[in-house]
Amino acid sequence: MAITFFTQSIKQIAPIWIRYRELSVDAKARTNLYIDKDRLKSSKVIKHKMSAKDNQEQKLLIKEKNKALDKVQNEMQLLELRIRSLITDEAQVDSKWLKQALRPPEEVVKLNLLEYYNGLLESDSTLAKNTQKAYRVNASFMRKYQKHIERELQVIDIDGNFKDAFIKYCREQGYPESTLKGQLGRLKAVCLYAEQRGEIIHNQVKNLTKNIRVQPTLSVFLTSSEIDDIIALNVKDSALDIARDWLVVSCYIGQRSASLFKLTKDNIHIKSNTIRLKQVKTGANVVIPILPQVQAILDKHKGSFPPLFSTKQHHNYNRYNDLIKEVCKLAGINELCKGRNKNIGGRMSKVITKPKWELITSHIGRRSFATNFYGKINQQLIQSVTGHKTETSFLKYINKEREIDPDALNKAFLDAMKEY
């Protein structure tokens, strides 16, 4: 008795077949397993090898791929054991018998692509709310695309041809490259999750976001002198005064609004004169020195942060966004700046020129912090506050077109030369 496994499809990702041979019997049946046909040789699964040239991301990807291949190898062994256990002297073994033995109807369970989104969200309770929301938006995006192509997508359908068609669809719909890249990035993560659970994914999944160029950021920031003007502003309206205080705090602690508006007196560590918090989006623990501008606002509010505008989170953000525009307008921040207007649904944006105060959003404080301190203190210290994990993501974030102080630059070089 000989039981072997093989592929016979011309496609790169192919179903695995099982073959049973004994005397005059030669039966074949298709299993419900898939594999890259280059990974199956003489009934053995060939795993990917790592090389010294592979970076950490590539090594992790190879490790995850090999986990899936181990699962396929185990499934093949279980199938062989099942076949051997079912063969008796009375069994009339042929291809039909083999097919029924391999795939009893009650055991066939196959998830489509969208079902893996639910699985991913249910499997990881540590995902931040914003991350969960991003995956739900991505699932909705893919559901809309399925309606466009009039068919249900399986994980194995996500390949190079899918990528080309999806990109064409998104561009025809007017979505910017940043939206396109974000959607493909989350889709890639879902495919890798499915692979960990035994699905075979196409080898082009790793290239889903490759060669998609995102439009350069045209985000404004507040200079240190503009922040000083905001601090000096005589504001009589209490809501505007509170918004002004939160804006100044944000420019000197560099946090997103989701983390900013969760700050209370409990986040102040008096002994070390620092603010300590856990970022809402990343879960990173951050320690921030309390600079004089922030200390003045804490003193103003009796040792705590300014009050919130609303108990409802989204109302609080919306109110803050509206008020800080008015604060900056009153402070005379009227310099004409370029920015992008984003239409509803994330559709195509266009470059516009407006007075800076009209382009101000709640993210201005975080971007101002990173930009104003870049080049003045150690970059890793800035990243430890902002929570950027890589230099690449940090440098994309800041406004590198800010005016450089030539005297400060000259001093930095002279100080460095003294150490030669």
pLDDT band of residue 222 (cuts 50, 70, 90) is very high
Among 13-27, 55-69, 149-163, 384-398, the minimum mean pLDDT is found in 384-398
Predicted confidence (pLDDT) at residue 232 exceeds the cutoff of 80: yes
Q: Are residues 101 and 241 in the same domain?
A: no
Q: How far apart are CA 350 and CA 381, in angstroms?
A: 35
Residue 363: inside a domain, yes or no?
A: yes
Residue 213: inside a domain, yes or no?
A: no
Predicted confidence (pLDDT) at residue 127 exceeds the cutoff of 50: yes
Coil vs helix vs strand at 159: coil
Q: Note the pTM of the prediction, 2 decimals.
A: 0.57
Q: Are residues 89 and 122 in the same domain?
A: no
Q: How far apart are CA 300 and CA 318, in angstroms?
A: 24
Among 29-33, 73-77, 370-374, 393-397, the minimum mean pLDDT is found in 393-397
Q: What is the pLDDT of residue 372?
A: 84
Q: How far apart are CA 196 and CA 63, in angstroms?
A: 10
Coil vs helix vs strand at 378: coil
The 10s digit of each residue's pLDDT in 264-317 is 999 999 998 999 999 887 788 888 889 999 999 999 999 999 999 988 877 888
Write out the two tokens for 145. 């695309």
Q: What is the pLDDT of residue 110?
A: 66
Q: What is the pLDDT of residue 409?
A: 43
Residue 176 or 2, more confident = 2
Domain boundary among the residues 73, 107, 141 is at 107
pLDDT (average), residues 231-260? 93
C-alpha 179: how far from chain center: 12
Residue 217: inside a domain, yes or no?
A: no
Q: How many folded domains does the chain comprise?
A: 3
Q: Are residues 26 and 52 in the same domain?
A: yes
Q: What is the pLDDT of residue 353?
A: 86
Residue 405: inside a domain, yes or no?
A: yes
Closest by Cα among 253, 227, 402, 256 to 327: 227
Domain boundary among the residues 155, 172, 207 is at 207
pLDDT (average), residues 144-161? 92
Residue 218: inside a domain, yes or no?
A: no
Residue 246: inside a domain, yes or no?
A: yes
Predicted confidence (pLDDT) at residue 397 exceeds the cutoff of 80: no
Q: Are residues 45 and 122 in the same domain?
A: no
Residue 383 or 211, more confident = 211
Contact 212, 226 (CB under 8 A): no
Q: Are residues 385 and 244 in the same domain?
A: yes
DSSP 304: S
The 10s digit of each residue's pLDDT in 330-350 is 999 999 987 766 554 445 556
Q: How far apart are CA 80 and CA 17, in angstroms?
A: 12
Predicted confidence (pLDDT) at residue 403 exceeds the cutoff of 80: no
Q: How far apart are CA 306 and CA 247, in angstroms?
A: 10
The CATH number of residue 117's host domain is 1.10.150
pLDDT band of residue 249 (cuts 50, 70, 90) is very high
Q: Are residues 68 and 187 in the same domain?
A: no
Percent of the chain with pLDDT over 70: 87
Domain boundary among the residues 107, 124, 149 is at 107
Q: Are residues 232 and 373 in the same domain?
A: yes
Q: Are residues 269 and 408 in the same domain?
A: yes
Question: Could you tell me the residue range of the domain that residue 175 belongs to?
Answer: 113-207
How many other CB atoms are found less than 10 A from the CB of residue 383? 18
For residue 283, is it left (φ>0), alpha (ψ between -120 and 50) or beta? left
Contact 116, 194 (CB under 8 A): yes
Single-letter residue type at 236: K
Write out the two tokens for 34. 């898939």
Q: What is the pLDDT of residue 410?
A: 52
Sheet holding 13-22, edge to edge: 2-6, 13-22, 25-36
**CA distances (Å), 70 to each of 96, 102, 397, in order?**
28, 19, 40
Closest by Cα among 404, 396, 397 to 367: 397
Q: Are residues 285 and 337 in the same domain?
A: yes
Closest by Cα among 162, 217, 199 to 184: 162
Q: Are residues 150 and 237 in the same domain?
A: no
Among 57-66, 142-151, 294-303, the minimum mean pLDDT is found in 57-66
Q: How far apart are CA 148 and CA 140, in angstroms?
A: 12
Predicted confidence (pLDDT) at residue 109 exceeds the cutoff of 60: no
Residue 156: inside a domain, yes or no?
A: yes
Q: Are residues 103 and 117 in the same domain?
A: no
Write out the two tokens for 158. 């996500």
String of DSSP letters for 36-79 = EGGGEETTEEPPP---TT--HHHHHHHHHHHHHHHHHHHHHHHH
Q: How far apart are CA 225 and CA 356, in angstroms?
A: 14
Q: CA 363, 364, 370 angle in degrees (round to 5)?
A: 100
How many other CB atoms are found less than 10 A from the CB of residue 168? 10
pLDDT band of residue 415 (cuts 50, 70, 90) is low
pLDDT band of residue 406 (cuts 50, 70, 90) is very low
Q: Quick one: CA dihedral 220, 226, 231, 237, positive or negative?
A: negative
The CATH number of residue 289's host domain is 1.10.443.10
Average pLDDT, the chain: 84
pLDDT (average), residues 143-149? 94
pLDDT (average), residues 20-47? 90
Q: How far apart are CA 338 and CA 306, in angstroms?
A: 31
Q: Are residues 240 and 346 in the same domain?
A: yes
Residue 344: inside a domain, yes or no?
A: yes
